Amino acid sequence: MGCALSGPGVTKESTFSEEKRGSFLEGGLDLSEETECGETPEQLSLSESQKALIQESWKILHEDIARVGIIVFIRLFETHPECKDVFFLFRDIDDLQQLKMSKELQAHGLRVMSFIEKSVARLDQEDKLEHLAFELGRSHFRYKAPPKYYEYVGAQFIQAVQPILKEAWTPEVEKAWESLFKYLAATMRRGFYTEEKTAGASKSLSSRKAGAESTPNKI
């Protein structure tokens, strides 16, 4: 699937270029059509050094985890207001200051940070990491949360943590987190579409059964 409560902008020292940001936020994470259809599992393409960079930076972020979670979603709602439609509790709140004080938003932000924390802890256990993200994608189908939003959360997380990590944020750290979120978003998408197909098959079967039961037997 946070930023400082005041929502600080990206500093001049940011390594995230305008061109790259536009591609990341608007075009998503360049996921393939096969992944969208749930046919080709994404591979976790992280080197051991990249895993170490993620783990070390997460140690710093974990100290301020609640704040990061709120920042991510405030930034998300600022840049993509339509995302609020997915959240029943927030869709009618237009005052961002009011949202910043929302206990419900803080709770949701913490849940997303918990998912990231579990993901970081499973970097050396790809089967468990895949299962975690896949099941979260399946549950998001039931929540009616479309896959396009998964990519937005990752992008906003990266933007939010740069001013928190300060000099610890490097192009190498950025690339490592980018790769992780690409993998998580792709795996969640696969889970979403798998659950969508399962629900569609179940609905079709129920309809056929209902049709058969309503059809009188002919002798």
Q: Greater confidence, 60 or 1?
A: 60
Whole-angstrom CA distances from 2 to 116, 199, 218 are 12, 32, 63
The matching CATH number, chosen from 1.10.490.10, 3.30.300.180, 3.90.76.10, 3.40.640.10, for 45-213 is 1.10.490.10
Whole-angstrom CA distances from 13 to 97, 136, 162, 171 are 27, 34, 10, 11
pLDDT in tens, 137-160: 999 888 788 788 888 899 999 999
* Average model confidence (pLDDT) across the chain: 76
pLDDT in tens, 5-27: 233 333 333 333 334 434 333 33
Tokens of 119: 């993901």
pLDDT of residue 209 exceeding 50 = yes
Three-state DSSP class for 23?
helix
Among all chains, which residue has been given the structure tokens 């990206």? 10
Q: Specify the pLDDT at position 217.
A: 53
Span 32-39, average pLDDT: 44
